[in-house]
């Protein structure tokens, strides 16, 4: 609560007449971007009323006491509105002469809350005035009845009007809660008061499902396809919530959720931390999102490849990817221009990849990207703090100032996110998983699909023409050209 002597000396008098105390109640609960900035508008309207009242009660001094609850829905019972309670206390103690607010529904959207205020005002002969609706004649039974009807209508529309429902959803979203069905990976815990009355809920990890989500994200980062992940989940008998089998589409939907990393987004803008605990690190989640958003993932996958380099290595002459074919019964990678035996070529490429990943300088090779990701993450965290601070200051700012800051922070968040997505891509996850002294064993343990993904991420391979007439001696640096990327 803040106490302001807004009229100052002009209205004060020395005659010992008691001042006229106006309690202003302001509440904003709505969309933080759209409606919270209405606070200056509310303030302007309320100031007009105060000026009118000051003229009316002159020469009594006017004291304005402001009670303000932000981000509170008067409809949701479990939300405690601290200054509302203070205001009711002051009213009960008969320390107020008038209540002023923008509208009756600022105080309460529950009939019983409004009845409480109205009865107190009646008993203490406190006047009530709204910007919308003017003075309410508290001493008139008919006016009080009308006011009760309005409260009942407000309560009804709170519960049923689509706009009101949207508002309460936003309030939930502001608290970081998932609206609607509990997503796969979490379970809902209902909170009860000592009397057994339901107070609300919060979401916690569902251990088995959380493990599945972590596994999906790890596998997609390691290069597995959505199809093979879905197939494996179904093979392991894991059920999606719906009771239906997993499909590439449902797996993708699970990956895309910002809540996996404990983040809450609305219409593409960051809104704060999710109430539910994160299942994976933000970096892993972003890497997975980048992977499944990559253009090559959008096409329907064809038959599962059976060979390490088909479609990956290209012909040095024409640039087209080579295909697997049997040349005189011998498995080979071929184009019209080149033909390389499959087995020795696979071994040669495998050894080159493993050598690269085993090198002691493997980490420095990727250090720039790692640094970039770390910087972007740090910046994101700072911007999120700034956004939180802006929300706290919102009511003290002009609409233009608030929006300018909001836009600046959001564009910073988008920029840092884009950098993080570029840097924290699947290559890093793969390298982190494979590199080290036993890179060979780790690489060999991968499925064919993941080996192919690793090769794609790490290098480009060109197959050159073999020397004419010479006996085939196996792949060399000249015939199988590997360029790391």
Can you give the binding site for Zn ion, defined by CB under 5 A?
315, 317-318, 335, 337
Nearest approach, Cβ of 333 to Zn ion (angstroms)? 11
Return the number of the residue (416 or 480) whose C-beta is nearest Zn ion: 480
CB 83 within 8 A of CB 69: yes
Nearest approach, Cβ of 319 to Zn ion (angstroms)? 7
Nearest approach, Cβ of 320 to Zn ion (angstroms)? 5
Return the number of the residue (17 or 318) whose C-beta is nearest Zn ion: 318
Return the number of the residue (317 or 362) whose C-beta is nearest Zn ion: 317
Return the number of the residue (210 or 335) whose C-beta is nearest Zn ion: 335
**How many Cα atoms sit within 13 Å of 463 on the Cβ side?**
30
Burial class (CB in 10 A: 0-12, 13-18, 19+), 329: exposed
Return the number of the residue (332 or 373) whose C-beta is nearest Zn ion: 332
Return the number of the residue (428 or 463) whose C-beta is nearest Zn ion: 463
The neighbouring-strand residues paired with 3 are: 65
Sheet architecture: strand order including 330-334: 323-327, 330-334, 339-341
Nearest approach, Cβ of 318 to Zn ion (angstroms)? 3
Q: Is the dihedral of CA 352, 321, 345, 465 positive or negative?
A: negative
Return the number of the residue (311 or 436) whose C-beta is nearest Zn ion: 311
Would you give the distance in Å from CA 111 to the centre of its chain?
35
Nearest approach, Cβ of 323 to Zn ion (angstroms)? 10
Q: Tokens standing for 269?
A: 């803008």
Nearest approach, Cβ of 344 to Zn ion (angstroms)? 20
The separation between the first and the last C-alpha atoms of the chain, rounded to the nearest angstrom, is: 61
d(CA 195, CA 217): 42
Return the number of the residue (84 or 333) whose C-beta is nearest Zn ion: 333
CB 238 within 8 A of CB 212: yes
The neighbouring-strand residues paired with 237 are: none
Nearest approach, Cβ of 352 to Zn ion (angstroms)? 22
Nearest approach, Cβ of 448 to Zn ion (angstroms)? 24
* CA proximity to 174, closest of 332, 383, 34: 34
The neighbouring-strand residues paired with 202 are: 189
Q: Tokens standing for 277?
A: 């605990």
Q: In this chain, which residue has its C-beta nearest to Zn ion?
A: 315
d(CA 329, CA 324): 12
Identify the DSSP state of 132.
T
CB 218 within 8 A of CB 255: no
């Amino acid at each position: 609560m803040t106490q302001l002597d807004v009229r100052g000396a002009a209205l004060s008098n020395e005659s010992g007449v008691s001042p006229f105390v106006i309690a202003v109640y302001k509440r904003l609960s709505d969309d933080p971007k759209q409606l919270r900035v209405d606070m200056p508008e509310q303030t302007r309207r309320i100031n007009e009323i105060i000026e009118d009242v000051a003229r009316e009660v002159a020469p009594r001094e006017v004291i304005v006491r402001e009670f303000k609850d932000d981000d509170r829905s008067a409809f949701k019972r479990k939300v405690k509105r601290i200054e509302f309670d203070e205001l009711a206390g002051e009213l009960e103690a008969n320390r107020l002469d008038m209540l002023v607010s923008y509208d009756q529904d600022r105080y309460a959207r529950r009939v019983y809350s409004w009845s409480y205020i109205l009865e107190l005002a009646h008993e203490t002969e406190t006047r009530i005035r709204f910007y919308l609706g003017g003075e309410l004649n508290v001493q008139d039974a008919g006016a009080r009845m009308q006011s009760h009807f309005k409260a009942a209508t407000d309560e009804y529309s709170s519960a049923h009007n689509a706009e009101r429902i949207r508002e309460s959803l936003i309030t939930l979203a502001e608290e970081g809660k998932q609206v609607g069905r509990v997503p796969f990976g979490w379970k809902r815990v209902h909170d009860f008061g000592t009397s057994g009355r339901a107070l609300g809920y919060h979401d916690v990890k569902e251990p088995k499902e959380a493990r599945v989500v972590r596994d999906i994200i790890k596998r997609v980062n390691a290069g597995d396809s959505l199809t093979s992940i879905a197939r494996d989940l179904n093979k392991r008998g894991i059920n999606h919530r719906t009771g239906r089998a997993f499909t590439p589409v449902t797996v993708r939907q699970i990956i895309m959720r910002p809540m996996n990393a404990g983040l809450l987004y609305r219409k593409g803008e960051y809104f704060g931390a999710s109430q539910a605990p994160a299942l994976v690190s933000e970096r892993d989640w972003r890497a997975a999102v980048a992977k499944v958003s990559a253009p090559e993932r959008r096409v329907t996958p064809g038959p599962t490849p059976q060979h390490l380099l088909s479609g990956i290595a290209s012909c040095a002459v024409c640039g087209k990817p080579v295909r697997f074919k049997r040349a005189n019964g011998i498995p080979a990678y071929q184009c019209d221009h080149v033909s390389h035996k499959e087995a020795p070529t696979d071994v040669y490429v495998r050894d080159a990849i493993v050598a690269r990943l085993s090198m002691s300088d493997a980490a420095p090779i990727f250090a720039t990207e790692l640094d970039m990701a770390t910087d972007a993450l740090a910046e994101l965290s700072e911007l999120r703090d700034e956004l939180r601070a802006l929300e706290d200051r919102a009511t003290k700012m002009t609409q233009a100032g608030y929006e300018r800051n909001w836009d600046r922070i959001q564009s910073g968040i988008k920029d840092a996110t884009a950098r993080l997505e570029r840097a924290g891509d699947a290559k890093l996850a793969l390298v982190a998983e494979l590199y080290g002294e036993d890179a060979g064993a780790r690489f060999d343990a991968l499925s064919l699909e993941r080996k192919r993904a690793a090769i794609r991420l790490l290098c480009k391979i060109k197959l050159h023409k073999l020397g004419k007439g010479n006996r085939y001696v196996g792949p060399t640096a000249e015939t199988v050209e590997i360029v790391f990327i």
